[in-house]
Amino acid sequence: MRPFGARRDRLRALLGAAGVDALLVTALVDVRYLTGFTGSNAALLVAADGEARSRFCTDGRYVTQSAEEVPDLETVVDRGSVLALARRAPGLGITRLGFESDVVTVDGLTAVDAASEGVELVRAPGLTPGLRAVKDDVEIAALRTACAVADAALADLVAAGGIAAGRTEREVALDLENRMRGHGASGPAFETIMAAGAHSAIPHHSPTDAPLRRGDLVKIDFGAIVDGYHSDTTRTFVLGPAAGWQRDLHDLVARAQRAGCAALAPGAAVAAVDAAARDVVVAAGQGERFVHGLGHGVGLEIHEAPWLSSGGAGELAAGMVVTVEPGVYLEGRGGVRIEDTLAVLDGGTEPLTLAPHELVEV
């Protein structure tokens, strides 16, 4: 199933309101979303009136690859893909050309303006990312697989005794990433956050050579990439029997996470979803230790729209895939975060990450 033509049609429906004859797509992640192209150099011209005036451009390294991945668009072969399409705009009868003003640099805009002489350039930010926020069935299937790969890798790591005193944070992170590759991931979705002991109180800690010690909380935030789509999961473990404060902290975060997940629904305000989880933490007197937003969209990028936060704007829609990841961090002692990736659907949600949620003593 090739969904790319339908995605370009959805984009075309927005171009009239943007007041442009065509959109010059320069962000590679947007080009991939609209064409399926996975190379490192490309641009796309999407004409408002259909495919006849639309063009795809890449360089000579990708002639064979682009023929396979983008068989349904006329292809221009040119190393300077963005400028090559800009130069063709006047000859295609395009008089108002939209550009991704949230992506193009000042110098890039100057070059595009010179290349497309006689064409009016119009700011058109966020059109494709806005479409990407709502996933189609192909995307949700890829995300479901990416999440399953990550779940399987974590289960293998735990079963093999990979979270053990004496191993370093870096060793455990690398072990988990290799297991994700073994289950079919092309790589990790981001640098694995593997944080033990006091480091677990640092929301985005990079793994070090510090050894895990008995009694440590161990927070692992990780994900897999499958077919370009990212998963995102966080689970917190404890090395040996859990202390009372560790169980209490984990229970608080788990209650907040359940409240956040329960608030997900089409039409729900993103700020209200954040509040559903945050209010649980605030009521427990730990509000100042929940220092980040509740979650974010995931897809071709690990962080993308929508944004679940107290200052977030907008509402959820069916087809959005988001994380719900409250955390409470006690500086110098340890922290807990529990995170799942979920699809928002008509009539409910589908959890895509299925690893056990309870505090596991390893």
pLDDT at position 347, please?
87
| Residue 117 sits in the same domain as residue 178 | no
Question: How many whole angstroms separate alpha carbon 224 and alpha carbon 218?
Answer: 19
Question: How many whole angstroms separate alpha carbon 334 and alpha carbon 216?
Answer: 8
94, 113, 130: which is the final residue of a domain?
130
| Residue 248 sits in the same domain as residue 159 | yes
Number of domains in the chain: 2
At residue 237, φ and ψ (nearest 5 deg) are -115, 175
pLDDT at position 233, please?
98
Tokens linked to 218: 């161990």
Cα–Cα distances (Å) from 147 to 28, 287, 298, 303, in that order, read 23, 30, 11, 15
| Residue 224 sits in the same domain as residue 110 | no
Q: What is the dihedral of CA 170, 172, 177, 180, to 10 degrees?
A: 180
| Residue 145 sits in the same domain as residue 100 | no
CB–CB of 273/259 below 8 Å?
A: no
Give the pLDDT confidence of 88-129 residue by residue, as tens digits.
Answer: 999 999 999 999 999 999 999 999 999 999 999 999 999 999
| Residue 185 sits in the same domain as residue 307 | yes
Enumerate residue ranges in the chain where pLDDT < 70.
1
CB–CB of 150/182 below 8 Å?
A: no
| Residue 215 sits in the same domain as residue 308 | yes
SS3 165: coil
Give me the domain span that covers residue 220. 137-361
| Residue 114 sits in the same domain as residue 142 | no
CATH number at residue 106: 3.40.350.10
pLDDT at position 58, please?
98
70, 97, 130: which is the final residue of a domain?
130
| Residue 112 sits in the same domain as residue 161 | no
Question: How many whole angstroms separate alpha carbon 214 and alpha carbon 201?
Answer: 17
Bond prior to 306 in cis (omega within 30° of 0) = yes
| Residue 94 sits in the same domain as residue 142 | no
Cα–Cα distances (Å) from 289 to 197, 255, 284, 328, 331, in that order, read 17, 15, 11, 5, 9
| Residue 315 sits in the same domain as residue 201 | yes
110, 130, 150: which is the final residue of a domain?
130
SS3 295: strand
